[in-house]
Chain A
Amino acid sequence: MISAPDVVAFTREEELEDELCSEPPLPEEYSVPLFPFASHGANPWAKVASSKFTRDFILISEFSEQVGPQPLLTIPNDAKVSGTFDLNYFSLRIMSVDYQASFVGHPPGSAYPKLNFVEDSKVVLGDSKEGAFAYVHHLTLYDLEARGFVRPFCMAYISADEHKIMQQFQELSAEFSKASECLKTGNRKAFANELEKKLKDLDYTRTVLHNETEIQKKANDKGYYTTQAIEKANELASVEKSIIEHQDLLKQIRSYPYRKLKRSDFHPYEPECALDQANTGCDQDLTTSDLAEPGETQLYAHVPSYTPKLIKAKSAKCFDKKLKTLEELCDIYFFTQTLDQLHQIERTFRGDVCYLLTDQISRALLKQQSVTNFLFEDVSFLDEKPPEKQYRGCQGLSQDAIDRKCSEESPAPKVVISLGSYKSSVECVPIKMEQEIEDSQEPKMTESITFEHQENLDYLDADIKGSISSGESIEVLGTEKSASGLTKSESQASLPVSPSPQVGRSKVGSRRTVSEDSIEVLSTCPSESLIPEDFKASYPSAINEEPYVDDEEGGLHFTPKLNPDNADEQEDISKPENLVQVDSACCIGKESPNFLEPLPDLGQKPCNEDGVVRIPPQPYRQVEPGLRGSFGSFPSHDGISGGLLPYELDSRYLTGSREVSKSSLDECSDSTSYISSAASTCSDRTPSPAHLTCQASERHKKKAGQNALRFIRQYPFAHPAIYSLLSGRTLIVLGEEEAIVKKLVTALSIFVPNCGIYAKPVKHWVTSPLHVVDFQKWKLIGLQRVVSPAGVNVLHALSRYSRYVSILDADSKTLRCPLYKGTLVSRLADHRTQIKRGSTYYMHVQSILTQLCSKAFLFTFCHHLHLPISEREPEESVVNRRMNFLKLQLGLANEDIKIVQYLAELLKLQYIQEPGQGVNPLLRFDYVPSFLYKI
Chain B
Amino acid sequence: KSSVQTIGEEQIQNPYTELLVLKGHQDIVRFLVQIDDCRFASAGDDGIVFLWNAQTGEKLFELHGHTHKITAIAAFSSSDASEEKKHLILTASADRTVIVWDCSSGRQVQKVSCFHSTVKCLTVLQRLDVWLSGGSDLCVWNRKLDLLCKTSHLTDAGISALVELPKNCIAAAVGRELIIFRLVASNDGSEGWNVLEVKRLVDHQDNILSLVSVNDLTFVTGSHVGELIVWDALDWTKQASECNFWDSSVHPDVQPEIKLSQSPNETSVQHLTSDEECVFAAVGKGIYVYNLQMKRVIACQRTAHDSSVLHIERLPNRQLISCSEDGSVRIWELREKQQLPAEPVPTGFFNMWGFGRVNKQANQAAKKMQENTPVYFLELVGDLIGHSSAVQMFLYFGELGLATCSADHLIILWKDGERESRLRSLTLFQKLAKNGDLQLK
Measured CB to CB, the residues of A under 8 A from B are 771-773, 776, 795-803, 816, 860-861, 863, 866-867, 901, 905, 908-909, 911-912, 920-932
Contacts and interface: CB of A to CB of B under 8 A. Distances in A.
A92 to B, nearest CB: 52
A772 B427 contact: no
Contacts of B420: 922
Contacts of B382: 927
Interface of B: 8-12, 14, 17-21, 23, 56-57, 345, 347-350, 352-353, 355-356, 382, 385-388, 410, 412, 415, 417, 420-422, 424-429, 431-432
Contacts of B410: 772-773
Contact of A867 (B348, B349, B426): B426
12 contacts: A801-B385, A863-B429, A866-B422, A867-B425, A867-B426, A905-B421, A908-B428, A912-B427, A921-B21, A928-B10, A929-B10, A929-B345
Nearest to A901: B421
Contacts of B345: 929
Contacts of B350: 799
A800 B431 contact: no
B355 A796 contact: yes
A929 B347 contact: yes
B348 A922 contact: no
A924 B388 contact: no
Nearest to A797: B388
A773 B20 CA distance: 9
B156 to A, nearest CB: 41
B8 A929 contact: yes
Contacts of A905: 421, 424
Nearest to A773: B21
Contact of A772 (B9, B12, B21, B347): B21
A867 B17 contact: no
A217 B382 CA distance: 107
Given A927-B11, A930-B347, A931-B348, A922 B425 contact: no
Given A912-B431, A929-B9, A799 B20 contact: no
B436 to A, nearest CB: 13
A924 B417 contact: yes
B116 to A, nearest CB: 42
Contacts of A925: 17-19, 417
Contacts of B387: 772
Contact of B20 (A771, A912, A920): A920
Contact of A927 (B10, B348, B426): B10
Contact of B17 (A799, A908, A926): A926
A799 B57 contact: no
Contacts of A909: 424
Nearest to A860: B428
A3 B167 CA distance: 80
B355 A772 contact: no
A800 B385 contact: yes
Nearest to A771: B388
Q: Is the interface of B mostly helix, strand, loop or mixed?
A: mixed
Please indicate which of the listed interface residues B348, B352, B412, B426 has the most CB atoms of chain A within 10 Å of its own CB. Answer: B352
A-B pairs with lowest CB-CB distance, top 9: A866-B425, A927-B11, A908-B424, A772-B386, A912-B427, A929-B9, A924-B18, A799-B353, A922-B20
A803 B421 CA distance: 20
A861 B356 CA distance: 44
A803 B9 contact: yes
Contacts of B11: 927
B362 to A, nearest CB: 18
A927 B12 contact: yes
Contacts of B18: 922-925
Contacts of B385: 800-801, 803
Contacts of B19: 772, 776, 922-923, 925
Please indicate which of the listed interface residues B11, B18, B19, B429 has the most CB atoms of chain A within 10 Å of its own CB. Answer: B19
Nearest to A879: B418
B349 A930 contact: yes
A927 B424 contact: no
B9 A867 contact: no
A928 B9 contact: yes
A929 B344 CA distance: 12
A816 B431 contact: no
Contacts of B432: 861
A270 to B, nearest CB: 35
Contact of B356 (A799, A908, A922, A923): A799
Nearest to B7: A927
A867 B10 contact: no
A875 to B, nearest CB: 8
A802 B17 contact: no
A367 to B, nearest CB: 16
Please indicate which of the listed interface residues B23, B349, B355, B426 has the most CB atoms of chain A within 10 Å of its own CB. Answer: B349
B23 A773 contact: yes
Contacts of A863: 429
Contacts of B20: 920-923
A863 B432 CA distance: 10
A802 B421 CA distance: 24
A771 B356 CA distance: 19
B429 A867 contact: yes
Contacts of A771: 388
Nearest to A371: B437
A922 B410 CA distance: 14
B322 to A, nearest CB: 18
A933 to B, nearest CB: 11
A922 B414 CA distance: 10
Contacts of A776: 19, 21
B10 A932 contact: no
A920 B57 contact: yes
B7 to A, nearest CB: 9
B409 to A, nearest CB: 11
A866 B424 CA distance: 9
Please indicate which of the listed interface residues B9, B11, B356 has the most CB atoms of chain A within 10 Å of its own CB. Answer: B9
A927 B17 contact: yes
Nearest to B353: A799
A908 B426 CA distance: 10
Contacts of B425: 860, 866-867, 908
A802 B353 CA distance: 11
Contacts of B355: 796, 799
Given A803-B9, A923-B19, A927-B14, A911 B353 contact: no
Given A773-B23, A928-B9, A931-B348, A911 B17 contact: no
A465 to B, nearest CB: 49
A814 to B, nearest CB: 9
B426 to A, nearest CB: 6
B57 A802 contact: no
Contacts of A867: 422, 425-426, 429
A919 to B, nearest CB: 12
Contacts of A860: 425, 428
Nearest to B408: A771
Contacts of B10: 927-929
A860 B425 CA distance: 8
A932 B348 contact: yes
A813 to B, nearest CB: 14
A925 B386 CA distance: 12
